[in-house]
Structure 1
Amino acid sequence: MVDSKIQIEDLNKIGRALRAVDKEAPKGLRIALNSGADLLVEHTRPKIPSRSGAARRSLVARSTRTSARVAVGGKKAPWFPWLDFGGEGRIKGRPAAREFIKEGRYVYPTLAEIRPKIETQLQGALSAVISSAGLVED
């Protein structure tokens, strides 16, 4: 299965250092982390089949100062896990059976495909946040 996490070493230390400089500075971390998740959303959305567009729209980036993630499905597209991974779907009101693929069809394969781009994006965004706070000399 695809490694679903991109770990950033000492992210908590970076957050504490930014907070020591300025209480508003750690907010930049959330924005920087979101940029990586946004990149995944941008590359995955066109691959998702669409009838009404609800499944595509349900794919969103979410982040905090310590983590970023991509959320899918929810109340507006509760069938998204079936669409991505497949499964039996034999319960009344659910769609027909679909071949189960452990790695998924859209999100995780796209993550594996563009992982280097996401890592580069995160490095640049985090460097910019740290530089703008004055924690690194030019």
Structure 2
Amino acid sequence: MTGAIKVDGLSQFVANLKSMDRELPKALRVAFNGAAEIVVKDARHRVPSKTGKARASVKAKSTQTAVRISGGGNRAPYYPWLDFGGRVGRNRSVRRTFQKDGRYIYDAYYRNINRFGEVLEQALLDVAAQAGVEVD
């Protein structure tokens, strides 16, 4: 289902950045969010909209070592049904065909995986350069 991009040595990279300057790892979170915006924009564009709440709920969430894209929440609790399908409503009478990989976020990720990887790589190189580390 997921085709996660894993960066070998990322936790050591973060630890080394912290040892140089406590503020540098914070730049990684910003860099990850920048890369995730590629997928977020594509997914948001495809989410159906009556009120716009489901569309607006698609967001990037990142830490210094990971980035995630999520949809739904308190303002759009029906988002998982929109994306993955299933049955809801009285006596589970409203049916939407189930799709294991979803319709919006994973689809946007798979369509943009190469560009996402390139932007992520460039962001990591930029943070390394900002720290004064030469990467080849």
2:97 corresponds to 1:99: yes
- Aligned mates of 2:38, 2:94 — CA distance in 1: 32
> Cα distance 1:15–1:96, how it changes in 2: closer, same or farther (>3 A)?
same
- Aligned mates of 1:137, 1:15 — CA distance in 2: 15
The secondary structure found in structure 2 opposite 1:69 is strand
User: CA shift at 1:115, angstroms?
Assistant: 0.2
- Aligned mates of 1:113, 1:29 — CA distance in 2: 24
Contact 1:44 1:106 in 2 (8 A): yes
Structure 1 gaps of 5+ residues are none
> Cα distance 1:64–1:2, how it changes in 2: closer, same or farther (>3 A)?
closer
Q: How many residues align?
A: 136
Query: TM-score, normalization: structure 1?
Result: 0.92
- Aligned mates of 2:35, 2:90 — CA distance in 1: 37
Percentage identity across paired residues of the two chains: 38
The secondary structure found in structure 1 opposite 2:69 is strand
The secondary structure found in structure 2 opposite 1:26 is helix
> Cα distance 1:30–1:85, how it changes in 2: closer, same or farther (>3 A)?
same
Structure 2 gaps of 5+ residues are none
User: CA shift at 1:95, angstroms?
Assistant: 7.4
Counterpart of 2:81, as a letter, is: W
User: CA shift at 1:90, angstroms?
Assistant: 4.0
User: CA shift at 1:110, angstroms?
Assistant: 1.1
| Corresponding position of 1:67 | 66
Calculate the aligned-residue CA RMSD, in Å: 1.7
1:61-109: per-residue Cα shift (whole Å, max 9, x none)? 11111111012100000000000111011446x7711111111111111
| Corresponding position of 2:130 | 132
Extract structure 1 runs of 4+ deviating beyond 6 A: none
Query: Which has a greater percent of strand?
Result: 2
The secondary structure found in structure 2 opposite 1:45 is helix
Contact 1:2 1:112 in 2 (8 A): no
Counterpart of 1:20, as a letter, is: S
- Aligned mates of 2:117, 2:104 — CA distance in 1: 19
- Aligned mates of 1:131, 1:48 — CA distance in 2: 37
